Amino acid sequence: MFREKLSKYIIYILLVVYLVLIYFLVQLEAGKENANIKDYWDGLWYTVITLTTVGYGDFYPVTPEGKILSLVIVLSSLGLLGYLIGNVTNNIRTYMENKKSGHYGTNFSNHFVIFGWDKFGQQVIDQIVKADRQVAIVTNNKNDIDLIQDLYPPEKVFIFFSDFNNFEAFTKVNITKAASVFINFPDDTETLVYVLNLQKHYKNLSFVVSLDKPDLKETFQAIGVTYAISKNEIASKLVASYIFEPDVAHITEDLMSTIINENDYDILEYLVKEENPYAGKNYIDAFIDVKTTYDCVLIGLSQVDGKERLLLKNPGNDINIKVGDYLILMANGSSKRKIEKVFGAKEGR
Buried b / exposed e across 182-197, counting CB within 10 Å, b at 16+?
bbbbeebeebbebbee
Please give the pLDDT value at position 242. Answer: 80
172, 202: one domain: yes
127, 190: one domain: yes
Query: Which residues, including other chains, have CB under 8 Å from residue 162's CB and lie 6 or more apart?
Result: 102, 138, 139, 140, 169, 170, 172
Query: Which residues, including other chains, have CB under 8 Å from residue 29's CB and lie 6 or more apart?
Result: 35, 36, 37, 38, 43, 61, 62, 63, 66
Boundary (domain end) residue, out of 100, 132, 167: 100
Question: Residue 55 falls within a domain, yes or no?
Answer: yes
CATH code, domain with 56: 1.10.287.70
Boundary (domain end) residue, out of 39, 67, 100: 100
**Cα–Cα distance between 262 and 323 in angstroms, integer?**
29
Question: Residue 300 falls within a domain, yes or no?
Answer: yes
3-state secondary structure of 326: strand
90, 204: one domain: no
**Cα–Cα distance between 241 and 13 in angstroms, integer?**
77
**Cα–Cα distance between 307 and 206 in angstroms, integer?**
8
**Cα–Cα distance between 187 and 115 in angstroms, integer?**
13
CA-closest candidate to residue 132, choices 337, 297, 338: 337
92, 153: one domain: no
3-state secondary structure of 204: coil
139, 90: one domain: no
**Cα–Cα distance between 208 and 228 in angstroms, integer?**
6
Please give the pLDDT value at position 147. Answer: 94
Boundary (domain end) residue, out of 235, 251, 270: 235
94, 146: one domain: no
Question: Residue 249 falls within a domain, yes or no?
Answer: no
Please give the pLDDT value at position 2. Answer: 56
Predicted structure pTM score = 0.72
Please give the pLDDT value at position 7. Answer: 67
Question: Residue 328 falls within a domain, yes or no?
Answer: yes
Amino acid at 314: N
**Cα–Cα distance between 30 and 88 in angstroms, integer?**
36
Q: Find the angle CA(146)-CA(150)-CA(156) to the nearest 5 degrees.
A: 105
269 neighbors 330 (Cβ within 8 angstroms): no
**Cα–Cα distance between 133 and 170 in angstroms, integer?**
19
127, 191: one domain: yes
Please give the pLDDT value at position 6. Answer: 67
In terms of phi and psi (left: phi > 0; alpha: psi -120 to 50; beta: otherwise), the region of 119 is alpha
Along the 349 residues of the chain, how does pLDDT read in single tens digits?
Answer: 556 666 677 777 877 887 888 888 888 888 787 888 888 888 888 887 877 767 677 777 888 888 888 888 777 777 777 777 887 888 889 889 999 999 999 999 999 999 999 999 999 999 899 888 999 999 999 999 999 999 999 999 999 999 999 999 999 999 999 999 999 999 999 999 999 999 999 988 999 999 988 889 899 999 989 899 888 887 787 788 888 788 877 878 777 777 777 888 888 999 999 999 999 999 999 999 999 999 999 999 999 877 678 899 988 888 999 999 999 999 988 888 899 899 998 887 6
CA-closest candidate to residue 112, choices 191, 30, 177, 28: 177
Question: Residue 116 falls within a domain, yes or no?
Answer: yes
Question: Residue 131 falls within a domain, yes or no?
Answer: yes
CA-closest candidate to residue 72, choices 13, 20, 32: 20
**Cα–Cα distance between 244 and 195 in angstroms, integer?**
38
CATH code, domain with 123: 3.40.50.720
Question: Residue 82 falls within a domain, yes or no?
Answer: yes
42, 145: one domain: no
Question: Into how many domains does the chain fold?
Answer: 3
Query: Which residues, including other chains, have CB under 8 Å from residue 133's CB and lie 6 or more apart?
Result: 111, 112, 346, 347, 348
116, 231: one domain: yes
217, 271: one domain: no
**Cα–Cα distance between 72 and 93 in angstroms, integer?**
31
**Cα–Cα distance between 271 and 348 in angstroms, integer?**
7
**Which residue range(s) make up the domain with 79?**
2-100
18, 79: one domain: yes
Question: Residue 41 falls within a domain, yes or no?
Answer: yes
Q: Find the angle CA(331)-CA(337)-CA(338) to the nearest 5 degrees.
A: 85
Task: Tell me which H or E stretch contains 127.
Answer: helix 119-130
81, 55: one domain: yes
**Cα–Cα distance between 109 and 136 in angstroms, integer?**
10
Please give the pLDDT value at position 31. Answer: 76
